[in-house]
Amino acid sequence: MKPEKIWFTAGLFSAVLLIFVLFSPSVFAQGNTSTDKSAGRYLQLFEYVFAFVQNNYVDEVDPRILYEGAMKGMLEALDDPYTSYIDPSSLMGTNLKDTTTGSFGGVGLSITKPVVSTFEKPAYVEVASPIEDSPGWKAGIQPGDLLLDIDGTDTAEITMEEVLAILRGPVGTDVTVTIRRGKSLEFKATLTRALIEVPTVKYAMMENGIGYLRIVEFTPLTPARVQDALDFFEKEGYTKLLIDLRNNPGGLITSVVDVANKFIDSGVIVSTRSRISFENREFRARPDRTTFDKNIPIVVLINRGAASASEILAGALKDYKLAYLVGETSYGKGSVQQVIDLLNGDAMKITMARYYTPSGANIDSSGIIPDREVLFPELTEAEEKALTDLLQTTEIADFVEANPELTNSQAEDFARKLAATYPVELRVLKRLVMQQFYRTHISPLYDLEYDIQLKAAVDILNTENIPELLKTTYTVFDMQQMSEKEAEAS
């Protein structure tokens, strides 16, 4: 490449960046004078390095490679797992299209991955939440599980894009993952990729007039589907409502605001704060959009798989004392991202603001603390070893294959036989048997026998006075303050 062309390319690139800075106030914040001078100096240095590499590197370099590398490095330097560069040909770019079409071939796991991997703490893939009825969910993969390898590839040694590239693929093909649960429980699972179409709402009537509403994710369709559920419950004569937000990874802030407005008739539902003035917003309830009868008591279920928009709903209902929260502390994602289109068909996803509950709490990295904590029992070391031994056999798969019309009593009898060899709680063993069965059958909406969090929520609705309980609860902000004081005291 000729020097004149090199400098023209570098100059054009710098001009594009300067145009973005000077004429895109909707994207970039106005800085102060000293910051502007510093930014200008670094832009000049970048232009110099860009041109120098083009002109002097031993091999000729495609300028796009340098551009993409610089963009990735710049956004990764923010050390924000939710901010990233999106190459249109990359898997992340494909994911944006998948969001629009609503389907893709995959295993149905919402995952995260640390940017830095060390010997002490390898950057294994962590499951944030499995999508309900997906291959990952049917295999019993849980929030907090680590994927140590995928088809033999160590996940600590590859990027998130590479992880997604391996997990995704044609519908009907298999992928094998090694899972670590807890400190030492490890086992392999072979997942058959399926067409992932995320359902947004599921609902059913339970006994004693309880309407059970599971919100899986907040999409543009969620408010309408929630209203469908409320209309169904009203027709069935419900007297209590149980909203299950567990493993809900979030979604659109406008969607969750519309859902919250069905329950909240006035005041701020959520606010966003940023150093950019136009990102400082308040999403307020409108009384004409409220459709829920406030005389009906609400219990909300949350766990560590509940994140982002689901935390907005739980936090708003808690702050206004409209719902009693049960389960475990939520994931803690209190930031708002936007996807900004760039000039080459690429884009960047960047954190633009943080959101706050009506009481003024930001739950980023801390989560929402439930009013009543209900945890699944942790496995002992002996139980972990027993389960590891069991899951390395085909005993459960062989039994289910031999009993294609498996009944509840058959599953329980077999779980008792397993317990004689593998000393693990019967509830857990039976759950493993039924999960294997549901790989090829439609799974029930809920399981009161295994799901102790759900059972606790149902018991609270049936036996306790929710309005009186709500008088004793604290806002999200107050609970954060108390938690911090307890941590300082200890």
**Per residue in 422-431, pLDDT tens?**
999 999 999 9
- Specify burial of residue 173 (Cβ count, 10 A radius: 0-12, 13-18, 19+): exposed
pLDDT at 172 over 90: yes
Question: Do the domain assignments include residue 477?
Answer: no
C-alpha 203/C-alpha 300 separation (Å) is 14
Is there a single domain that holds both residue 266 and residue 339?
A: yes
pLDDT at 27 over 50: no
Question: Do the domain assignments include residue 161?
Answer: yes
Instruction: State mean pLDDT over 38-52.
Output: 92
State percent of the chain over pLDDT 70: 89
Where would I find the H helices in 102-245?
135-138, 160-167, 222-236
Question: Do the domain assignments include residue 136?
Answer: yes
User: DSSP of 125-164, one letter per residue?
Assistant: EEEEEEPTTSHHHHTT--TT-EEEEETTEEGGGS-HHHHH
Question: Do the domain assignments include residue 484?
Answer: no
Q: How far is CA 239 from CA 348, 360, 454, in A?
A: 46, 31, 17
Is there a single domain that holds both residue 357 and residue 216?
A: yes
CB 126 within 8 A of CB 111: yes
- Specify burial of residue 76 (Cβ count, 10 A radius: 0-12, 13-18, 19+): middle
Last residue of a domain, one of 329, 352, 371: 371
Tokens of 76: 């990764």
pLDDT at 259 over 60: yes
Question: Do the domain assignments include residue 70?
Answer: no
Q: Which residues carry out catalysis?
A: 308, 319, 333
C-alpha 154/C-alpha 177 separation (Å) is 10
**Domain hosting residue 236, numbered range:** 201-371
Total of domains in the chain:
4
What's this model's pTM, rounded to 2 decimal places?
0.77
Question: Do the domain assignments include residue 480?
Answer: no
Is there a single domain that holds both residue 221 and residue 298?
A: yes
Confidence class of residue 294 from pLDDT cuts 50, 70 and 90?
A: very high
Q: DSSP label at 300?
A: E
Residue with tokens 């690429």: 346
Cα 344–Cα 350–Cα 352 angle in degrees, nearest 5: 130
Is there a single domain that holds both residue 353 and residue 208?
A: yes
- Choose among 244, 240, 195: nearest CA to 217: 244
Q: How many residues would you count in the chain?
A: 490
Is there a single domain that holds both residue 166 and residue 206?
A: no
Instruction: State mean pLDDT over 126-150.
Output: 88
Is there a single domain that holds both residue 187 and residue 124?
A: yes
Tokens of 99: 């969001």
Last residue of a domain, one of 27, 46, 61: 61
Question: Do the domain assignments include residue 38?
Answer: yes
pLDDT digits (tens, 9 = 90+) for 383-432: 999 999 999 999 999 999 899 899 999 999 999 999 999 999 999 999 99
Backbone angles phi, psi at 276, to 5 degrees: -95, 125
CB 277 within 8 A of CB 304: no
Is there a single domain that holds both residue 126 and residue 262?
A: no
Instruction: State mean pLDDT over 477-482.
Output: 95
Is there a single domain that holds both residue 345 and residue 258?
A: yes
What is the H or E stretch that residue 281 is in? strand 281-284
Q: What is the CATH number of the domain that holds 137?
A: 2.30.42.10
Residue with tokens 């279920």: 301
C-alpha 264/C-alpha 259 separation (Å) is 9
Is there a single domain that holds both residue 362 and residue 215?
A: yes
Is there a single domain that holds both residue 162 and residue 206?
A: no
Q: What is the CATH number of the domain that holds 215?
A: 3.90.226.10
Is there a single domain that holds both residue 217 and residue 169?
A: no
Cα 480–Cα 282–Cα 466 angle in degrees, nearest 5: 50
Instruction: State mean pLDDT over 348-377.
Output: 95
Is there a single domain that holds both residue 358 and residue 382?
A: no
What is the predicted pLDDT for the residue at 442? 73
Average the pLDDT over each of 306-315, 319-328, 434-443, 468-477 and give the range with the smallest value: 434-443
Integer-rounded Cα radius of gyration of the chain: 25
What is the predicted pLDDT for the residue at 420? 97
Confidence class of residue 219 from pLDDT cuts 50, 70 and 90?
A: confident
Last residue of a domain, one of 371, 392, 419: 371
The helix/strand/coil state of 36 is: helix
Question: Do the domain assignments include residue 84?
Answer: no
